[in-house]
Amino acid sequence: MKASVCESGQKLEIFIPFLGKCRPPLRRCCQTCTPRSWDGFYHRQLSSLGFRDTIRVTEEDTRYRGWLVRRVCGFLAVWDWKVLADTPGDLLERVCHSQRVQDVAAGRSRGSRGDGASLQQWKEKILKILVEIQAPLSPIMLRLCNWALLKLLNCLFLSVQLHRGQLEMVLRAARMPGVPLVFLSTHKSQLDGLLLSFLLFSQGLGVPRVTVGGRVCSPRLRALLSRLGGIFLPSRMEQMPIDRDEELPGAVLAAYVEEVLRSRQPLLIFLEEPPVAMCLSAAARQWLALVYRAVRDGTVPDILLVPVGIAYDVVPGGSHWEGARGTRPLGLGALLRAACRALRRPLGCARVDFAQPFSLREFVAQNLAGQSSVGKPPEEPLVPTILGMCPSRPEEKAAEVWQPGPATATGWEAEEEMLVTRLGLHCLSDGVACSAVMAVGITSALLLHKHREGVFLSRLMRDFAWLLEETLLHQRDTGFSGQLRHLVQHSLSLLGPRLRLYRLSPIGDVLVVPKASAEALGELGLYSAAILPVFASEAVGACAIRAVLMEMLPFLGAAMGSAGVVLSEDELLHKIQELLRLLPPNLLGLQPCQPLDGWSQDIVDKLLLCGLLEAEEPEGGRWVCDSGPRPLSQRQSWAALDFTDSDSDSNGDSVVPNRCFKLSQPQGSPSFLLFLCRLLSPPLRTLAAAVAFLDRPSWPQPEAAYVEALLQFLAEEKGFEHLDRSLALSSLQTFKEMGVLEAVRSPPGPLLHLAQPFRSSTSRAKLGAFIQQFIQP
């Protein structure tokens, strides 16, 4: 990655093949929630198996050889792929004999005649519901559509990469007798379902049953997707939660999912709903609840869950899906128009990653054991701190209360709802963590958060190499390889419509300037969002440092710079915990099983490791371990250091002094602190704008109307960078969890009320000032 001059005077450029054998290890499952699955299906040599391009089908992928075979090798290969499993032929009879369905039928027909005509009517109702859910697979249509999809993917992407070690790990899990696989995937575009279905089918994992989310499809498209493996919620359940009283559609759907799992068909569930990222969708909760109940009721002994991450250089469809979402049913014509738009613009490469499979039964057992004590809700410690009513430090935030909104059930149903939500958020975090970082994401982050006014190409290449090195040091994989110059040029060519390039002949360089339009900033923000989970801990710590400095600013002398400021560890931890309570953990890609104090201390350790902080030495000498600036490879974690006095008494009465830190500039990146602060600016600025929006609407207000009005307010806000529905929904979730807004159930839908403490303008001003302290302009 660096230019060097050899003895002959020739300038050489060294590059690292990031898709080669030297790469970060595969994503492991959570050792806290699934300790027994930690060593399952995972072997270190799998990391060195390399990659394969799943859309590049050659003569070697068929049983035949020859000139003609090379011309039609794609068709021959698709025709040889095996459909490993299908729904049983007697599916209707099995569903009718399901205990759930029989209980509903008995309750509905209590007091009526049990003659043959009544049974036939019940079968007709069940068959009608089953037709809405799925259709039998059509092998001929399946192979023809996959062959056409293979051609389309070759036109859209340069490559679709899949790691051979991850594939081998999933194939080992698929060979487990009697244990089905359920893939839980992130969702970036409407192409994901077809892409993952093609990938699993082509790699010998069978044709998956793909759950279709909340997007309404036209009858023709729904019929086509059903024949290709798509499954849908019944029409009565698409806009409402699963019925707790086991009505007939819910009972039939539960029985169908049990039969799919019992027949060991792979099931694919999308955890998000594009364009809303990092938020668990309502449809995902419904499907996960059905999967969980299948294990709880003993239908299958266990289920192996496989988190899946998808990464694109350029997301297919872009922002077109956001504008058309919910306006009309999605049809075949809309899909063809979207494909034509995608063909007019190069999309670069795509990457699919599998995380380590883990046991659902083990996850449930570990989390049910940890639900014995439920902590206080987040609004109890944070709201008094914001309003100045509680001078004491906030208490620990328990992960058990981490849910997207108020519970809709009580007793064991609330416990099940909370467990399913935590399972979905945990798998979503794993899917984001195993997703590769693409070259366009790195370039977009640099242009948006570091060089908004423009940058020379030579400087951009140096910063690209620096950010790439930091990404690899954070154990995150990259979805590209090649020379540095070619990688940056590839990114700029894909971002070309959103940039202005000026060739400066006198100095022989190129000036790269992002366009100031909302479309350009929105697209750069969309692609740079993949960088935030990589540096989430450091970004939270950097914003906490800024908040501490803002509090100390009135007491600092004019001549003293920030480099001479000494920060207390307790004060820094206090600010970090406040910011962690303010931002949803799923937005940062954090796992819900780790307590808040663990996050806070880990963030301080990472700030020390990256060189933003260094330990302040006492006047009498140095600490036991020297923490001065040194190469990153030689830095050690503070968690492994002992700061106690070795000469102290053994009775344990000695008090360890509070650690203090000084700000430092990491080698190679003097503006790293500013860059990290700006990574969190989009969600924090959205929260600040949402606080200002609280003065606008009349209360109460439906949730859907509130979100749309907030997006309109953000579009009109002066100086706001770009609209992001995910951040708007995240701000709504934060306000409900903090107690700023209260959701009251009503027949038309949830109604939002402004909570009593924030009905005064003074309290809302305090909330806005609390958020503003973390925002970097």
How much is the pLDDT for 400?
34
- Closest by CA position to 512, among listed 500, 521, 504: 500
Say yes or no to pLDDT of 683 above 60: yes
Give CA–CA dist 752/476, Å, rounded: 40
Q: Categorize the per-residue pLDDT at 463 as very low, low, confident or very high, splitting at 50, 70 and 90.
A: very high
Answer whether 224's CB lies under 8 Å from 330's CB. Answer: no
Say yes or no to pLDDT of 30 above 90: no
Say yes or no to pLDDT of 548 above 80: yes
Q: Categorize the per-residue pLDDT at 83 as very low, low, confident or very high, splitting at 50, 70 and 90.
A: confident
Q: Categorize the per-residue pLDDT at 427 as very low, low, confident or very high, splitting at 50, 70 and 90.
A: very high
Give the bridge partners for 160, in sequence order.
350
Give the bridge partners for 182, in sequence order.
267, 305
Q: Give whichever of 82-96, 191-205, 363-377 has the largest mean pLDDT.
A: 191-205
Structure tokens at 500: 């202005």
Q: Which of 51-55, 144-148, 245-249, 456-460 is least confident?
A: 245-249
Answer whether 261's CB lies under 8 Å from 180's CB. Answer: yes
Mean pLDDT computed over 694-709: 87
Mean pLDDT computed over 546-574: 75
Give CA–CA dist 681/661, Å, rounded: 24
Mean pLDDT computed over 525-542: 92
Answer whether 143's CB lies under 8 Å from 330's CB. Answer: no
Q: pLDDT per residue over 170-196, tens digit each?
A: 999 999 998 999 999 999 988 999 999
How much is the pLDDT for 20?
45
Mean pLDDT computed over 135-150: 91
For the domain 683-772, what is the CATH code?
1.10.10.10
With a pLDDT cut of 90, the percent of the chain lying above it is 35
Q: Categorize the per-residue pLDDT at 19 as very low, low, confident or very high, splitting at 50, 70 and 90.
A: very low
- Closest by CA position to 575, among listed 682, 677, 437: 677
With a pLDDT cut of 70, the percent of the chain lying above it is 80
Give CA–CA dist 78/143, Å, rounded: 6
Give CA–CA dist 746/26, Å, rounded: 46
Q: Categorize the per-residue pLDDT at 22 as very low, low, confident or very high, splitting at 50, 70 and 90.
A: low
How much is the pLDDT for 108?
61
How much is the pLDDT for 23?
66
How much is the pLDDT for 522?
87
The number of beta carbons lying within 10 Å of the beta carbon of residue 579 is 22
Say yes or no to pLDDT of 4 above 50: no
How much is the pLDDT for 390?
56
Higher pLDDT, 624 or 545: 545
Give CA–CA dist 72/78, Å, rounded: 10
Q: How is residue 629 annotated by DSSP?
A: S
Length of the chain: 777
Three-state DSSP class for residue 500? strand
Q: Which of 81-90, 276-285, 560-569 is least confident?
A: 560-569
How much is the pLDDT for 721?
64
How much is the pLDDT for 381?
63
How much is the pLDDT for 278?
80
Mean pLDDT computed over 91-111: 76
How much is the pLDDT for 397?
38
Answer whether 181's CB lies under 8 Å from 266's CB. Answer: yes
Say yes or no to pLDDT of 105 above 90: no
How much is the pLDDT for 318?
64
Q: Categorize the per-residue pLDDT at 126 as very low, low, confident or very high, splitting at 50, 70 and 90.
A: confident
Say yes or no to pLDDT of 53 above 60: yes
Answer whether 95's CB lies under 8 Å from 255's CB. Answer: yes
Mean pLDDT computed over 342-370: 89
Average pLDDT over the chain, rounded to an integer: 80
Q: Give whichever of 1-15, 95-109, 239-253, 650-664 has the largest mean pLDDT.
A: 95-109
pTM of the prediction? Answer: 0.86
Q: Categorize the per-residue pLDDT at 448 as very low, low, confident or very high, splitting at 50, 70 and 90.
A: very high
Mean pLDDT computed over 13-21: 45
Say yes or no to pLDDT of 561 above 70: no
How much is the pLDDT for 245?
37
Say yes or no to pLDDT of 635 above 50: no
Say yes or no to pLDDT of 40 above 60: yes
Contacts of 711-717 spanning 24+ positions with Cβ under 8 A? 713/689, 714/686, 714/689, 715/518, 717/689, 717/692
How much is the pLDDT for 238?
55
How much is the pLDDT for 719?
64
> Domain locations in the chain?
44-368, 452-526, 683-772
Higher pLDDT, 772 or 317: 772
Give CA–CA dist 339/650, Å, rounded: 72
Mean pLDDT computed over 294-316: 93
Answer whether 390's CB lies under 8 Å from 381's CB. Answer: yes
